[in-house]
Amino acid sequence: MPLAADQWYGLIGIAVAVAGLVRLVTVQDLVARLVSLNVMGVGSLLLLMAVASRGAEVDPLLSALVITGLVITVAFTGLGAVLIRRLEGPDGGEDELP
């Protein structure tokens, strides 16, 4: 029995989220961790869209939540990049006292 399109998207969403989680746990670099958090977010949004498209019609509420999640992801990615830059600093994260 072949899988429907929403089931495929659900499985792909789970796989992408798990891949991001594995990368988040195994890497030490802060930028790589930020990217892996973004990958996990994309996987969860893909899974949410798979749930939204299960019926004859696409649920508009879940679609709006996905669009809102994309906007929030962009904002927090920018915030995370600024925080990483502040933590690491121009000298590689070593703070020197005057």
Q: What is the pTM of this model?
A: 0.81
Residue 15 within any structural domain of the chain: yes
Check which CATH number belongs to the domain holding 59 and give it: 1.10.287.3510
Question: Structure tokens of 58?
Answer: 């696409």
3-state secondary structure of 58: coil
pLDDT in tens, 66-80: 999 999 999 999 999
The residue written with tokens 């996987």 in the block is 43
Within a domain: 96: no
**Does residue 36 contact residue 20 with C-beta atoms inside 8 Å?**
yes
In a domain, 94, yes or no: no
Q: Is residue 97 part of a domain?
A: no
Number of domains in the chain: 1
The residue range of the domain holding 59 is: 5-88
Write out pLDDT tens, residues 19-54.
Answer: 999 999 999 999 999 999 999 999 999 999 988 888
